[in-house]
Amino acid sequence: MTDPSFWGWLAGGMGSLSKGIDLMSSIVGAQSDAELLSAVSAAASSCGFERVLIGTQWITPRGERCFQVLSGYPLEWQTAYAQRGYMGMDPTVAHCQVQTSSLIWTPNHFEQANAMELFEEARSFGLSCGMSVPIHEAAGVKTMVSLVRDKPLDADPGEFEQLVRAGELIGNVAHFSYRRLITPQIQGILPKKLTQHELTALRWVANGKTSWETSRIMNISEATVIFHLNNAMKKLDVVNRPQAIAAAFRLGLLE
């Protein structure tokens, strides 16, 4: 059963309970990038945010990094951000790459990261304060949802908590809706799911065991171990065991 407090902060963060439910339903039901951006922007606006961005990253078994971004930021700022290589110094991106907790960011975060040039230019486009919600999936898929405004977030502790929790809900619902929309693009790049036997064999080989030693541990024949390892290599799109181990670690399969 849903915690009653959930409905309280949903209503508090978005103005009313029925409005909050309708806004979330619009995000869930979006059938295109344009519909999703419009729905997420409307939900963010109800919480006092003026701009939104959804960025998803995944890594292929060969280690190639792929990105897909849905942005409601001003087009001129998107162009400047890309041309100046700001992503490499953006503290919100750095945070969402490695952390799973939301970042409520202010000018101080950019100052500490020696990225005030980035911040000052962003502020000229009305992107002064906000929150970035990271969502990490298995298989190396990571999403960052940023909700941004020109004015500082509310200082009142109660209102601030409601706003942040509503923003996190928007971020998580937006992630799964966007993930659904771009799954066809990711599907051909991410590997097929490894079976438990394939993962177990790969894990023991990664720990330095030979095929024969792994067969003794798993209580199966050496030929069967080799069969599982070959299947794992095919699914990971690699040609040898070291590559398979490296790919599995990159995808979080052996953590």
The pLDDT, as a whole number, for residue 207 is: 87
Using the predicted structure, report yes or no on whether residue 98 has a pLDDT greater than 90: yes
Of how many residues is the chain composed? 255
Using the predicted structure, report yes or no on whether residue 35 has a pLDDT greater than 90: yes
Q: For the residues 17-26, what does the mean pLDDT come to?
A: 80
The structure tokens listed for 50 are 């003026």
Which pLDDT tens digit goes with each residue over 68-96? 999 999 999 999 999 999 999 999 999 99
Using the predicted structure, report yes or no on whether residue 99 has a pLDDT greater than 90: yes
Burial class (CB in 10 A: 0-12, 13-18, 19+), 38: middle
Q: Which CATH architecture has domain 4-187?
A: 2-Layer Sandwich (3.30)
Tally Cβ neighbours within 10 Å of residue 163.
23
Percentage above 70 pLDDT, the chain: 87
DSSP designation for 151: S
- What one-character-per-residue DSSP string does 56-82 give? EEEE-TT--EEEEEEE-S-HHHHHHHH
Using the predicted structure, report yes or no on whether residue 192 has a pLDDT greater than 80: no
Using the predicted structure, report yes or no on whether residue 63 has a pLDDT greater than 70: yes
Measure the CA–CA gap between 24 and 168, rounded to whole angstroms: 12
Q: Where are the domains of the chain?
A: 4-187, 196-250
Residue 149, C-beta contacts closer than 8 angstroms, at least 6 positions apart: 48, 49, 50, 51, 126, 128, 129, 130
- What residues are paired with 65 via a beta bridge? 59
Tally Cβ neighbours within 10 Å of residue 143.
24
Q: For the residues 42-55, what does the mean pLDDT come to?
A: 93
Q: Which of these, 78, 60, 20, 52, lies nearest to 178 by C-alpha position?
A: 52
Same fold, 4-187 and 196-250: no
Measure the CA–CA gap between 201 and 231, rounded to whole angstroms: 11
What amino acid occupies position 129? C
Choose between 186 and 113: higher pLDDT. Answer: 113
The pLDDT, as a whole number, for residue 4 is: 40
The pLDDT, as a whole number, for residue 11 is: 53
Q: For the residues 217-227, what does the mean pLDDT come to?
A: 96
Which pLDDT tens digit goes with each residue over 111-166? 988 899 999 999 999 999 999 999 988 667 899 999 999 988 766 777 788 888 88
Q: Which of these, 158, 175, 221, lies nearest to 36 by C-alpha position?
A: 175
Q: For the residues 37-57, what does the mean pLDDT come to?
A: 94
The pLDDT, as a whole number, for residue 2 is: 40
Using the predicted structure, report yes or no on whether residue 228 has a pLDDT greater than 80: yes
Choose between 23 and 128: higher pLDDT. Answer: 128
The pLDDT, as a whole number, for residue 255 is: 63
- Assigned CATH class of 196-250: mainly alpha
